[in-house]
Amino acid sequence: MAVYTEVSDEALRAFLAEYELGELLAYRGIAEGVENSNYALKTGRGDFILTLYEKRVDPADLPYFLALMEHLAAAGLPCPTPVHGRDGAALRQLAGRPAAICTFLPGVWPRRIRTEHMAPLGDALARMHLAGRGFAMRRANALGPAGWPALLERCRALADGIQPGLIAELDAALAAILAEWPAGLPEGQIHADLFPDNVFFLDGPDGLPRVSGLIDFYFACTDLLAYDIAVCLNAWCFEADYSFNVTRARAMLRAYAALRPLSVEERTALPVLARGAALRFLLTRLFDWVHTPPGAMVTRKDPLEYLRKLRFFQAAAGPEALGA
C-alpha cells in the first residue's frame, strides 16, 4: 500500500491551480512503493505522478532529490522530471505534506527478471553515473556504513526472536565489512535503491527490452559508484531459490563497463561492497520487522532473504564469482 495520506478532490484541484497542467480529468492512488503516497494524475496536458512525501523522508533532502532528477533528465536519462508551478517552484505543500508533481514515464517493471534485462540495466546505470558528474549538490548516504552500527543496535533486543543467533552473526558480519570497506574509490551521485520495481522497460524494435524509466530517487546520495552496482547485484542477480545467477551479473557488468570501465580497485572491492549492500537491506528490513506495529499500512519484507544473500557474498571467491 502506498497511499498513506488521502487527498480530497477539492484540495487536489486547488493544488493543481498552481500549475499550467490543464483540467484535472482523473486521478487514482498507486498501490506500490512503501515510502511515500503516490497518485497518478490525468490532466488536459497529459499524465503525471503526484507524490506526497511522508514522515520517513527528511524535507531537507527534497531539494537534492528533485534537482538531481531534473539534472539527469536534462542529460537525456529517462527519469521523472519535476514540474514547476506558475511561481517557478517544484516543491510545495498538500494535505500537510511536502508534495511535488513529476512527469509520467511509460513502461512496466519486470516481474520476472530475464538475462535480456541486464545489459540495458547496466547501460542505464552507467549513463546515470556519467550524467551525475556535472551535478554540484551532495547528499551523504544516511544508510551507508556509518549508519549501520546504530541501525543494528536498534534491532538488537528483538532480532533473535526472528532467528536464534541472528545478532551474533550480524555483529560479526558488520565488523568484517567495516574493516574491509574501501576508501578512495570513485564517488558520484548514486541511486542506491535500483530494484526491479524502480526500472521500467519497453520492448524495442528488435523485440528486446530497453529501459524506459528509472524512478524513485528518494534514497539517492553521493557515494561510491561501485556501491550502486553492488546494490544491483543483490537486487537483480538472485533466483527464487537464492542461487546467484552469474550470467545476469556478467551481462550487467559488461554493459556498464562499456560506458564506464571499472578500475582494478573497484572490481576488487565488489565482494565487500555486495556484502555491505546485502547488510544494508537486511538491517532496514529487520528494523521494519521488529518496529512496525500490527495493523500498520507498511508491508513488512522478510529480512532473512538478505541474510541468505549476505552469506553467498561472504563465501564468494573474489570478483570473478560475481561475474566481474
Reported as a pLDDT band with limits 50, 70 and 90, residue 1 is: very low
Q: Determine the CATH number of domain 115-322.
A: 3.90.1200.10
State the pLDDT at residue 290: 78
Give the residue, 54 or 282, on which the prediction is more confident: 282
Give the residue, 235 or 30, on which the prediction is more confident: 235
State the pLDDT at residue 54: 84
User: Cα(319)–Cα(24) distance, rounded to whole angstroms?
Assistant: 52
User: Cα(26)–Cα(134) distance, rounded to whole angstroms?
Assistant: 37
3-class secondary-structure state, position 57: coil
The dihedral built from the CA positions of residue 114, 272, 213 and 94, taken in this order, carries a sign that is positive
Question: Does residue 291 have a pLDDT over 80?
Answer: no
CB 220 within 8 A of CB 192: yes
User: Cα(47)–Cα(43) distance, rounded to whole angstroms?
Assistant: 6
Length of the chain: 324
What's the rounded mean pLDDT across residues 298-305?
Answer: 78
Q: Phi, psi (5° rounding) for residue 88? A: 90, -5
User: Cα(193)–Cα(291) distance, rounded to whole angstroms?
Assistant: 21
Spatial CB neighbours of 255, under 8 Å, sequence gap ≥ 6: 118, 119, 120, 121, 122, 123, 126
Question: Does residue 141 have a pLDDT over 70?
Answer: yes
Q: Where are the beta strands (DSSP E) in the chain?
A: 24-29, 37-43, 46-52, 92-94, 97-103, 187-190, 199-203, 209-214, 221-224
pTM: 0.92
Question: Does residue 33 have a pLDDT over 60?
Answer: no
CATH superfamily, with its number, for domain 9-103: Phosphorylase Kinase; domain 1 (3.30.200.20)
Domain ranges for the chain, please list them: 9-103, 115-322
Question: Does residue 31 have a pLDDT over 80?
Answer: no
The region that residue 100 occupies, defined by phi over 0 for left and psi between -120 and 50 for alpha, beta otherwise, is: beta
Reported as a pLDDT band with limits 50, 70 and 90, residue 72 is: very high
Question: Does residue 34 have a pLDDT over 80?
Answer: no
Reported as a pLDDT band with limits 50, 70 and 90, residue 19 is: very high
What's the rounded mean pLDDT across residues 59-86?
Answer: 95
What's the rounded mean pLDDT across residues 98-107?
Answer: 95
For residue 86, count CB atoms less than 10 angstroms from its CB and return exposed for 0-12, middle for 13-18, buried for 19 or more. Answer: exposed
What's the rounded mean pLDDT across residues 106-112?
Answer: 94
Q: Locate 74 and state its grid cell.
A: 536534462
Q: Phi, psi (5° rounding) for residue 47? A: -105, 140
What's the rounded mean pLDDT across residues 145-157?
Answer: 94
Between CA 274 and CA 265, with CA 122 as vertex, the angle to 5 degrees is 50
CB 31: neighbour CB atoms within 10 A? 9
CB 176 within 8 A of CB 278: no
